[in-house]
Each structure stands twice: as C-alpha cells, then as structure tokens.
Structure 1
Amino acid sequence: MQNILLTNAGKRVALVRDFKQSFKGQGKIVVTDNWSVAPALFVADEYYLTARIDEKNYIKDILEICEQAEIKAITSLMDPDISVLAGAREVLTNKGILCLFPSEHTAGRCLDKYKMFQFLKESRIPTIATFFDYADFMAAYQKGEIDFPVFIKPKSGSGSVGAQKVYTDAELQLILKNAAQPYIIQEFIEGMDIDADVYVDAISHQVVSIFLKEKIERMIGGTSKAISIKDTVLFEKIKQICGHFEFCGPVDLEFLQVGSEYYLYDINPRFSGAYLHAYACGVDFPKLILNNIRGKVNPSQVGEYETGQIMMLYPDVALVSKHDLKRDYRD
C-alpha cells in the first residue's frame, strides 16, 4: 500500500477527501495534528496526535507514526511545519520515505518573507518592493520612493493571517506597536491577482503541472473565489522561477500582473488552500504523487484543464462525539 502522511491537517477536510478519492484502493491517507478536534482527522483513513512542532518530541512522533503506519510519502499542510520537516529530510529519506517538501534552505527562504524578497531581487525575478521594518520603510518614504497605501504582513506569516492594507502612517505605527510579531511592509500595487498551483516532480525535479486562477475574492486563509485561466507566458516564467529553488511536490506561487509584467509576491511550498479548485478541474496532484511513490516520472501536463471554471469556497461542519477523541480537546 502506498500510504501517505499529511501532517498538521487542521481544517483541510476537502483536501483529505480528494486524496482519498485519488488513492482509493492504492494507499491510505494518514493525517496528524496536535489538537484532538482538528476536523480533518475524522475524514482520514487513519489519524494520530503529535506534539506541537516547536516541542522536542515532534520529529520523534512523526518517525514513530511513519513506521507504525507504513508511510511511503510525507508532506505538510502548514507553513512553519515545512521547515521543521525539511530539517529531518535525511533521516526520513533514509527510511525510504518520499519527502514532498523543499530542501531546508528553500523552506527557510519561503517562510521568511523578507529573505524571500532579498533572494528574488538577487535572482532578478520581478517582485514587490519590501521593507524589513518601519525604519527601513520610512527611509524610502522620506526619499519619495514609496507612498501610502502599503500592504503589511507578518515576516513569517501563514495563511494570510495578519495581512492587510494600511492607508496612513498613524495607522501603520499603531499596528506595528501592538503587533505580537515582526511585520514586513510592502508596496501596494493594483493588478490582476493570480495564484498558481504547481507540482514539481519528485524524481525529475521538473515542473510537470501548473494550474492558474485569477482571484475574485480573498479572505483570511487565502482565496475564497477564483476563476481558472491560462497564460502561456506565465507558464514559462513559473518553470524558470522554480529552477532557482529546490522544490519537491506541491508549490503555491502568487503573482500580481500589471500590464505585461508579473510580480511574484509570495511562495508557499505546500498545497494551497484553494488547490481544491485545481483538483475539481481535473488537475490531480495526488495521482502525480502516487506515480512518484512508485518511482515513475510524471510527464508534463501543464495547462491541461478548462478555463472559465469558477470556484466558490464555503464553510462546512464536522460533528464528532467527545467520546471518540483520542485526547481531551482542552489539552
């Protein structure tokens, strides 16, 4: 059986169901979380509770689960977890487990938004002007190099939490003063907001699938409404961009298109929250993963989907008895 482990599954119920559909009869979908009432736990074939990712027993828990559940591949659904797992890549690989996340170096760049900005600039990849802190921003502001409004987000954020548009200096100072973590400040650009779901083959290390969508509506956690599009120029740019990184498996890239230019403003080396759109359009990353687990290189299927397909995410409800929990929900 080609069992896969999805760590920190949280609320990704629909994604787990999609995996089960694609893996049906060929492998189990095993998931983890550190909270006993994470909804995705209850739709998986098997689930386990672990320590938090910042606790010393976390990797020990993962290794034990991999052995017990006969795991053949592993990927994470939470950004900070990716860096932790990437640090354990060698020990996981030595156990014959396919690691569907980037190298430790690339994972660190993706998590730290300012390091990512610096790398994109060095690599001459068009991106949005980004400032490390308020003093850095004000130096550019006083020179007339940037003006309000601006866009701010946590330096090591995840799922668009804390990301927002700021209109005045007074508002910016108030937010930063009360912030629980460091923020970066970015130039605010109006343009077409495009999200790309990308699969980098785990054997050939080539981009073999790209699904593009124009965002119609955003919410905390990502895109809530979008329409599928195709852009052959952007397809080629994405292949070139991925060549600068050490990706493996699913990657989410976000662009702003202004005229003929594409500004890359975020990269998350995992399944995006809106990957469900791609899957519904027949772009089946779990099937590509199955092939890689079996040692098969996936042929390119970039752009093989219909355009004009609109995704609309909506809330759903999971119900479970407290007697079925493996650990008290207050722990």
Structure 2
Amino acid sequence: MNILFTSVGRRTYLVNYFKEALNGEGKIFVANSDVNSPAFLAADECVVSPLIYDDNYISFLLEYCDKNKINAIISLFDIDLPILSKNKKLFEDNGINVIVSDKNVLNICNDKYSTYKFLKENGFNTPKTYLDVEEAKKYLKYPVILKPRWGMGSIGIYKADNNEELEVFYKKLSREIFNTYLKYESSVDIEQSILIQEMIIGQEYGLDIINDLHGNYQNTIVKKKIAMRSGETDCAQTVDNVGLKNIGMNISRKIKHIANLDCDAFIDENGDVYILEMNARFGGGYPFSHLAGVNLPKAIVKWLNKEEVSVDDLLTATSGVRGQKDIQIVRIS
C-alpha cells in the first residue's frame, strides 16, 4: 500500500507513524508546495506540488498518484481539505481513497462561525460569538477574543480589553487576513471574515474524536493542555474525563466526520464545558495521543485493507501520560 500526504509541511512525526504502520508493506509519499518542507526528509518519496489553488493542482496529484500507484491520500492542511473533498469521486474513480470528510463537515469546521452555529443548534456549550463590532460591544463583556473566521493556528488572534482595542485590532486583523493565505477562504464573505468571541477563563483540553472511514464513532482521547506555542499544543497529558469523552461521542454522531476530528474545549472555573473549535484532520495534539498508546495510523491502514480494528488495542490511551514537544534542526539538501 502506498500513501500520499499532501501539504505535509513539518509533520515528520506522522510520516514516521505511518511508515511504522505499513511495516515495509508500502511506501509513504509526501507533497508540499515548499521545497524546504522538513517532512520531505522522512518520507520514502517526495515531490514539490503546485499551490493548492493552482488550476493544475488536482491534475498534478492524479498524474502523480497514477505514476506511483498511490492507494490513499491524506491531507494535513485545512485549506487543502475542501479541494480534495470536492474531487473525492474523481480520485475514487481512479482507485485512490481520499481520507477526507465531506464538504458539509469541512464547511462546519473551517468556517468558525458555522462551527459556532452547529454547536449551538446541537445543544453544545460554546462561547458567545459575533461578526459585527457593534453587536459585540452590546452583548459581550471584556476581555474578548478576535480571530479570523477562516483561520488556523495562532494567525491573527488578539485579546481586546476595551472598545478602543476592539476597533484597532479589528482593523489590524482585516489587513492581516488579506496579506496571508487566509484571504482565499475569507473571500467567501469579505465583510464578515472576523469573529469576536467571548473569552473563556479555565483549563483547556484537546480532544481526538476518532471515527472509522465510514464516519462511525470509535473513541475520544482527552488531553489536558499544559503549555501552548504558536497556537499548537506544546505540552499535554492524557486524562480520563468521562464528561469530555461523552461530548466527543455526541459530536461524532452529529457531524459524522472521517478519521480524526481535532477539537478544542475549555472547562471554566464553574466546571462548565465549552467547545471552541474543530478541525477535521490530524491536529498538532495527536502526538500526545500516540505517545499514550493510540495508533490511528495503523487503524487507518487496517481499514484501508478491509481489516477489523480493535478499539482497545489501537484506539485507547493510557491515562496520565505527559508529553512535551522537542525542537530539532534538520539539514535541507
């Protein structure tokens, strides 16, 4: 079996996890538009691809997959997901399984205002969120959080403590969005591309909500976030929180995503749970689940091979395992 990762970037650890899962029975191919992607060094084969919004992106991938007998594609970048999902049947017609959720799931996850509406409509607690500055001033108490409606990581996140800061940061963020790749998805609704959100004070958690390749719920892995860096979890510990696991199960059954759903949650000082964001892909917090005994890459390989997967053996974490991300430097040739 050969698997291609698109938009692989620095996710070297995922390349290694899947190489271990294949156990020599196939190769890991990786693609990225940046030749300096560190994950290129870990893969069996690598290729520089066109940009995601390039007219030739999909045809390039199809030709590359055909040439290298690729069986499955996994993307690691939010902006890439809708493009692949839109062309999923085209890949399937060519014998290639694209492990991506359908467009409705991706719209809910990538558009954070749609995330807010989905959570409210389905009875999940989530911070109050507005698209209009004047409405936010009227209904929210300071401090508030401003962030791109279509965004990821720590790009363009600001905390405003008063009306003056809210207005300044709103204008600043508007400029930032259109000077980065966030401008592509934000162009869907340029006038309402910024969220103003109630700030929740409490303990943050990360959830890996795992479904199989048909959207059937398998398990939820809960991690207590201990430290963050550039919008990603830097240090975390697996915990056995039944309440959060049940919320993960309920989210899964409502949204029916494929494989992993990376989800952020807070428990405030009163013990109330708030769901903030969802990403329909492997998130930066997955390595902490893997460290604790979860092996979603191996489960995915088994599902692709039409084999049974034991949740107890592959998709259950040992509680109390703490991990810290390390920094290494690699030489790019």
TM-score of the superposition, structure 2-length normalised?
A: 0.89
Change (3 A) 1:148 1:305: same
Instruction: Report the residue type matching 2:162 in the other structure.
Output: T
Q: Which residue of 1 aligns with 2:255?
A: 245
- Residue 149 of structure 1 and its aligned partner are, at CA, apart by 0.6
Answer yes or no: is the 8 Å Cα contact 2:218–2:315 preserved in 1. Answer: no
Tell me how far apart the structure 2 counterparts of residues 164 and 297 of structure 1 sit (CA, whole Å). Answer: 46
- Residue 260 of structure 1 and its aligned partner are, at CA, apart by 4.4
Tell me how far apart the structure 2 counterparts of residues 65 and 198 of structure 1 sit (CA, whole Å). Answer: 31
Q: Which residue of 2 aligns with 1:283?
A: 294
Is residue 27 of structure 1 aligned with residue 26 of structure 2? yes
Q: Which residue of 2 aligns with 1:72?
A: 71
Q: Which residue of 1 aligns with 2:89?
A: 90
Is residue 313 of structure 1 aligned with residue 312 of structure 2? no
Relative contact order, higher structure (CA 8 A, sep 6+): 1
Q: Structure 2 residue aligned with 1:223, among 223, 233, 241?
A: 233
Q: Which residue of 2 aligns with 1:326?
A: none
- Residue 282 of structure 1 and its aligned partner are, at CA, apart by 1.5
Deviations 1:252-274 (A, max 9, x none): 01111234432111000111112
Answer yes or no: is the 8 Å Cα contact 2:296–2:315 preserved in 1. Answer: no
Tell me how far apart the structure 2 counterparts of residues 308 and 82 of structure 1 sit (CA, whole Å). Answer: 33
Q: Which residue of 2 aligns with 1:158?
A: 152
Tell me how far apart the structure 2 counterparts of residues 175 and 312 of structure 1 sit (CA, whole Å). Answer: 32
Unaligned runs of 5+ in 2: 178-192
- Residue 300 of structure 1 and its aligned partner are, at CA, apart by 3.0
- What are the equivalent positions in structure 2 for 1:129-144 lying under 5 Å apart? 129-140=128-139
- Residue 208 of structure 1 and its aligned partner are, at CA, apart by 1.6
Tell me how far apart the structure 1 counterparts of residues 315 and 161 of structure 2 sit (CA, whole Å). Answer: 38
Instruction: Report the residue type matching 1:275 in the other structure.
Output: Y
Answer yes or no: is the 8 Å Cα contact 2:126–2:275 preserved in 1. Answer: yes
Instruction: Report the residue type matching 2:70 in the other structure.
Output: I
Deviations 1:196-231 (A, max 9, x none): 11221014x222232211101112141111111111
Tell me how far apart the structure 1 counterparts of residues 98 and 154 of structure 2 sit (CA, whole Å). Answer: 25
Deviations 1:62-117 (A, max 9, x none): 11122122111211111111111111111122223222211011112211101111
SS where residue 255 of structure 2 aligns? coil
Instruction: Report the residue type matching 1:200 in the other structure.
Output: N
Instruction: Report the residue type matching 2:124 in the other structure.
Output: I
- Equivalent pairs counted in the alignment come to 314
SS where residue 71 of structure 2 aligns? strand
Tell me how far apart the structure 1 counterparts of residues 273 and 315 of structure 2 sit (CA, whole Å). Answer: 18
Tell me how far apart the structure 2 counterparts of residues 68 and 110 of structure 1 sit (CA, whole Å). Answer: 33
Answer yes or no: is the 8 Å Cα contact 1:101–1:250 preserved in 2. Answer: no
SS where residue 251 of structure 1 aligns? strand
Q: Percent identity?
A: 28
Tell me how far apart the structure 2 counterparts of residues 193 and 36 of structure 1 sit (CA, whole Å). Answer: 35
Q: Structure 1 residue aligned with 2:276, among 250, 255, 265?
A: 265
More helix by share: 2
Q: Which residue of 1 aligns with 2:217?
A: 207
Is residue 188 of structure 1 aligned with residue 189 of structure 2? no
Answer yes or no: is the 8 Å Cα contact 1:149–1:165 preserved in 2. Answer: yes
- Residue 169 of structure 1 and its aligned partner are, at CA, apart by 2.0
Tell me how far apart the structure 1 counterparts of residues 166 and 327 of structure 2 sit (CA, whole Å). Answer: 32
SS where residue 254 of structure 2 aligns? coil
SS where residue 79 of structure 1 aligns? coil
Tell me how far apart the structure 1 counterparts of residues 279 and 31 of structure 2 sit (CA, whole Å). Answer: 20
Deviations 1:23-71 (A, max 9, x none): 2212211111001111111211111111111111111111112212211
Tell me how far apart the structure 2 counterparts of residues 48 and 133 of structure 1 sit (CA, whole Å). Answer: 43
TM-score of the superposition, structure 1-length normalised?
A: 0.90
Tell me how large the CA RMSD over aligned residues is: 1.7
Answer yes or no: is the 8 Å Cα contact 1:230–1:303 preserved in 2. Answer: no
Tell me how far apart the structure 2 counterparts of residues 82 and 221 of structure 1 sit (CA, whole Å). Answer: 20
Instruction: Report the residue type matching 1:173 in the other structure.
Output: E
Tell me how far apart the structure 2 counterparts of residues 71 and 241 of structure 1 sit (CA, whole Å). Answer: 32
